[in-house]
Amino acid sequence: MNIVILGSGNVATVLGSALSEAGYNIIQVWSRNVKHAEALASLLHTNFIDDLSLVDSSADLYLIAVSDDAIPVIKTSMQFLKGIVVHTSGSTSIDILKDKFENFGVFYPFQTFSKEREVNFRDVPILLEASNSKTMLVLESIASSISNKAQECNSDQRKALHIAAVFACNFTNHLYTIAQKLLEEYQLDFDLLRPLIAETAQKVQEFMPENVQTGPAVRKDMNTIGSHLKQLEDHPELLAIYKLLTEQIISASSKN
Amino acid sequence: MNIVILGSGNVATVLGSALSEAGYNIIQVWSRNVKHAEALASLLHTNFIDDLSLVDSSADLYLIAVSDDAIPVIKTSMQFLKGIVVHTSGSTSIDILKDKFENFGVFYPFQTFSKEREVNFRDVPILLEASNSKTMLVLESIASSISNKAQECNSDQRKALHIAAVFACNFTNHLYTIAQKLLEEYQLDFDLLRPLIAETAQKVQEFMPENVQTGPAVRKDMNTIGSHLKQLEDHPELLAIYKLLTEQIISASSKN
């Protein structure tokens, strides 16, 4: 099975590496930026191109792992291909590929990737969508060879999952940043918070989050909330988040 | 060293257990609720009382581990004691104890505790404050015997730490709940999110959160943000959080 990787960012890198380690033959890496193409191609021991007209038309799978905005641009510049063409985007419909290709789909690895940290791909859910059942069978076989958590997922579901990830990962990380800045202001080290952050995430590996909510809001401890609001008076941005989330936790717990 | 535990909630339970395992002699457990007092006393193989006038006046340390609101009530009902009296609250000043006792302080274990999960106490930071240096030495010795992370911390710092924990733990857990409900709406299992939540927390064990922020807001990917806002139209509560946090992430990343 011959694969072409289009893109050179975090997703292209981790997916290319996982597929290469699983024994697939990565025959080309394309990137708009020739240096990035060369770097990833070198990592995957393969060839690189920076011109889409040079994409090898004999491959079985083309993985478009680029930013959402770039997908339509790249698609337009690509020739018609017999092989399966997939994108890896959480928030892009499968339909973006349908006017150009016959066998196409989505291959969405659901995890936060960074170049600094290696992730165990076997635990990463891969959400699949395909233009036809034959294509789905191929995608399932590839996904299962690198992950234990491959499953079908339509475009609406994938979009909901992507939004859920913004809340549970991106926004959460911003809350960590806020906490870190607060500690900094009081000459306290972020190390003090790290065990708490780890335990908070660990708890929901076993339990549902609504069943392990803690803190002044869920206890409706208005004294503590009042004292926190007072202390945050000089931080209007934090005050806005504190008020909004506290109100919503109180309201959610009153419904239970 | 003889210790009396006042309270029977999560903090009283985990702290009592850790001290008992470290070889301290828990001589009494008090709780307003006699059944709770009995249950914790049985766990710690000791006696229980539900009347504050029966508190043993010969103990070396009295640990008040009750809700913040209850601290002044309990203090008023207690007799004067020669031993050290500490509370375990993040958001209560040390001064609350000064008109009644001579040797007093704060013994604040900084972690989220639940009865369902055992926490390794050696990794839990314990923040200490004391009325005098002799008392601080005793508290440091006790804290160090159950944790590797005991340190001094004044009341202002402790309050800031408590607010930071609301952001990094309580609010974060509420974001997990929001994400879980979104998935439920689309017939998706929360299991899909668990690896992402774990990795998000794991990343900041090594890195500073502002350096590993990901997602559409930090990329200023206005197309994706617009499409998410549209999809959240029927969820005004989620829309409010999405807008506020997205604006703040964009603004914070523009400052760098």
The pLDDT of residue B82 is above 90: yes
Query: What does the pLDDT read at residue A91?
Result: 87
Q: Calculate Rg over the CA atoms of chain B.
A: 22
The pLDDT of residue A163 is above 80: yes
How does residue B117 score in pLDDT terms, banded at 50, 70 and 90?
confident
The pLDDT of residue B115 is above 80: no
The pLDDT of residue B91 is above 90: no
The domain segmentation of chain B, as residue ranges, is 2-153, 158-255
Chain A hits for B116, Cβ within 8 Å: 206-207, 212
- Cα three-residue angle A49-A51-A52, rounded to 5 degrees: 105
Query: What does the pLDDT read at residue B193?
Result: 97
Cβ atoms < 10 Å from Cβ of B80? 9
- In the DSSP assignment, the letter for residue B234 is T
Query: What does the pLDDT read at residue B78?
Result: 94
**CA quadruple B10, B14, B17, B22: dihedral, nearest 10:** -160
- Contact yes or no for A127/A163 (Cβ under 8 A): no
Tell me what the mean pLDDT of segment B246-253 comes to.
96
CB-based contact A248 B183, cutoff 8 Å = no
Q: Check residues A23 and B117 and name the one with the higher pLDDT.
A: A23
- The length of chain A, given as a count of residues: 256
Query: What does the pLDDT read at residue B255?
Result: 77
The pLDDT of residue A244 is above 90: yes
Chain B hits for A203, Cβ within 8 Å: 112, 114, 117, 173
Nearest CA to B32 out of B2, B62, B77 is that of: B77
How does residue B256 score in pLDDT terms, banded at 50, 70 and 90?
low
pLDDT digits (tens, 9 = 90+) for B195-210: 999 999 999 999 999 9
For an interface test with A, the pick among B89, B175, B235 (most A C-beta atoms closer than 10 Å) comes out as B175
Tell me what the mean pLDDT of segment A29-39 comes to.
96
B200 touches chain A (CB under 8 A): yes
pTM (2 d.p.): 0.90
Closest chain A C-alpha to B230 CA, distance in angstroms: 11
Taking the domain A158-255, which CATH number applies?
1.10.1040.20
pLDDT digits (tens, 9 = 90+) for A76-123: 999 999 999 999 999 899 999 999 999 999 999 999 887 778 888 999
Query: What does the pLDDT read at residue B114?
Result: 77
Tell me what the mean pLDDT of segment A248-252 comes to.
96
Tell me what the mean pLDDT of segment A158-183 comes to.
97
CATH 3.40.50.720 matches A2-153: yes
In the beta sheet, which residues pair with residue A128? A107, A152
Query: What does the pLDDT read at residue A62?
Result: 98
DSSP A185-250: HTT--GGGTHHHHHHHHHHHHHS-GGGG--STTTTT-HHHHHHHHHHTTT-HHHHHHHHHHHHHHH
* H or E element in which residue B5 lies: strand B2-6
pLDDT digits (tens, 9 = 90+) for A199-227: 999 999 999 999 999 999 999 999 899 99
The pLDDT of residue A255 is above 80: no
Cβ atoms < 10 Å from Cβ of B233? 9
φ/ψ of residue B50, rounded to 5 = -125, 15
B170 touches chain A (CB under 8 A): yes
Query: What does the pLDDT read at residue B4?
Result: 98
DSSP A76-98: HHSPP-SSEEEE--SSS-GGGGT
Distance CA A114, CA A118 (A): 8
pLDDT digits (tens, 9 = 90+) for A49-86: 999 999 999 999 999 999 988 999 999 999 999 999 99
Strands B104-109 and A25-30, how do they pair?
A: unpaired
A218 touches chain B (CB under 8 A): yes
Distance CA A121, CA B102 (A): 58
For an interface test with A, the pick among B123, B151, B171 (most A C-beta atoms closer than 10 Å) comes out as B171
